[in-house]
Amino acid sequence: MTNAFAVISALLTTEIVRENEPMSKHTSFKIGGPAEVFVTPHDTCQLKTVWKTCQENGYPITILGGGNNVLVSDNGIKGVVVVTHKMNKININEDIINVGSGTKLYALAETAQKAGLSGLEFAHGIPGTVGGAVYMNAGAYNQEVKDICESVTVMLPTGELVTHNKDNLDLGYRKSRFQKETAIIVEVQFLLKYEIQHNIKIKMDELMAKRRISQPLDKKSAGSTFKRPATPGYYASKMIDECGLKGFLIGGAQVSEKHAGFVINTGNATAADVLALMEAVQKRVHTATGIWLEPEVQMIGF
């Protein structure tokens, strides 16, 4: 893959192209082997150049935002990894916000608050980027991205930009149409509501306080490890807790003692540790309840 680095770095500045970049530096788990080629484009033109080059040369390509909901293999990621965090422009037009997919959710929520626009308060404490939030239809406290998302613009493999309106996004519980398509989210449009800035700030602070009390925000994790079961009335964290698994440890990976829905890296966990722990939790919960927990964390490089 040295050739891929040479080819892509010749087309773009070496400032945004790296070779054998440790993914542990770019994931919230702080876990993951090297990306053979690591690219951080600033705009859609650079993104198009990277994708076109990968297609023409047969290089595998992986798209990441903030690396917050992923577990990267200890062996790293083959091919080219594109991280969109520099594609982070925010434009406000009355109650509409157009935002680059690499924008951090907390930054977007704060910008909306200062503009007197309500609707993103729930996203203030969610780690990650706007693109990842749309891809997974992120949500918290009975609100989801789908409640405020008006449209999503994606780049197709041809380099063409296509905009899908809210009725064509197939947003559901932790899912979207983009999980089944070969397309890269580049911009999202949100429709918000006018509100007094102070009132928005109060709500944001209240929700953040709840998170701090209930979630291990000071630990290395990928957020909620498992999805909520489809069976009504069942919740992953409650089921794991009732199985006595809080604090359960394999290697450097541990079920959080604060919130059983989180697996944390205690400091030296490997991806293999996390996988082994997740599988052990799944088996224990299945034995006790008959329900097999589905991972919410995205596995990359396995």
Same-domain check for residues 72 and 146: no
pLDDT on residue 54: 94
Same-domain check for residues 172 and 222: no
Q: Could you tell me if residue 12 is inside a domain?
A: yes
Average pLDDT, the chain: 95
Full-model pTM: 0.92
SS3 135: helix
Residue 122 clears pLDDT 70, i.e. is over it? yes
Task: Give the residue with greater pLDDT, 91 vs 2.
Answer: 91
Same-domain check for residues 114 and 158: yes
The structural domain count of the chain equals 3
In whole angstroms, give the CA distance from residue 52 to residue 84: 16
Same-domain check for residues 192 and 258: no
Residue 204 clears pLDDT 90, i.e. is over it? yes
Catalytic status, residue 294: no
Residue 1 clears pLDDT 60, i.e. is over it? no
Phi-psi region of 94 (alpha: psi -120 to 50; beta: other; left: phi over 0): left
Q: What is the pLDDT confidence band of residue 96, given thresholds at 50, 70 and 90? A: very high
Residue 125 clears pLDDT 90, i.e. is over it? no
Same-domain check for residues 225 and 283: yes
Task: For 139-163, write each residue's pLDDT tens digit.
Answer: 988 899 999 999 999 999 889 999 9
Same-domain check for residues 229 and 130: no
Cβ atoms < 10 Å from Cβ of 163: 13
pLDDT on residue 2: 56
Q: Could you tell me if residue 210 is inside a domain?
A: no
Q: What is the pLDDT confidence band of residue 134, given thresholds at 50, 70 and 90? A: very high
pLDDT on residue 105: 94
What DSSP element (H or E) covers 264? Answer: strand 262-265
Do 237 and 228 form a contact (C-beta atoms < 8 A)? no
pLDDT on residue 130: 97
Same-domain check for residues 33 and 73: yes
Same-domain check for residues 138 and 47: no
Please, what's the largest Cα pairwise distance for the chain? 56
Mean pLDDT, residues 168-181 taken together: 94
Query: DSSP character for 258?
Result: S
96-100 vs 90-93, strand pairing mode: antiparallel
Q: Which of 26, 51, 83 is the last residue of a domain?
A: 83
| DSSP track, 172-238 | BTTB-GGGSSS-EEEEEEEE-EE--HHHHHHHHHHHHHHHHHHS-TTSEEEEE-BPPPSSTT--HHH
Extract the tokens encoding 98. Answer: 């157009």
Catalytic status, residue 296: yes
Residue 99 clears pLDDT 70, i.e. is over it? yes
pLDDT on residue 205: 95
Extract the tokens encoding 191. Answer: 């429709």
Task: For 29-40, write each residue's pLDDT tens digit.
Answer: 999 999 999 999
Residue 294: domain span: 218-300
Instruction: Using the structure block, give the residue that is written with the tokens 């890296």.
Output: 265
- What proportion of the chain, given as a percentage, has pLDDT over 90? 90
Extract the tokens encoding 133. Answer: 């939030």
Catalytic status, residue 206: no
Mean pLDDT, residues 266-293 taken together: 97
Q: Which of 19, 110, 150, 296 is catalytic?
A: 296
What is the sign, positive or negative, of the torsion defined by CA atoms of 149, 141, 70, 217? positive
- What proportion of the chain, given as a percentage, has pLDDT over 70? 99
Identify residue 72 by its one-letter amino acid code. V
Q: Which of 21, 28, 118, 174 is catalytic?
A: 174
Q: Could you tell me if residue 29 is inside a domain?
A: yes
In whole angstroms, give the CA distance from residue 43 to residue 25: 22
In whole angstroms, give the CA distance from residue 252 to residue 185: 34
Q: Which of 24, 221, 224, 256 is catalytic?
A: 224
Residue 259's CATH number:
3.90.78.10
pLDDT on residue 13: 79
pLDDT on residue 21: 97
pLDDT on residue 197: 97
How far lies 63's CA from each of 26, 48, 135, 292, 298, in Å? 12, 13, 11, 28, 12
Q: Which of 53, 83, 113 is the last residue of a domain?
A: 83
96-100 vs 184-191, strand pairing mode: antiparallel
Identify residue 147 by its one-letter amino acid code. D
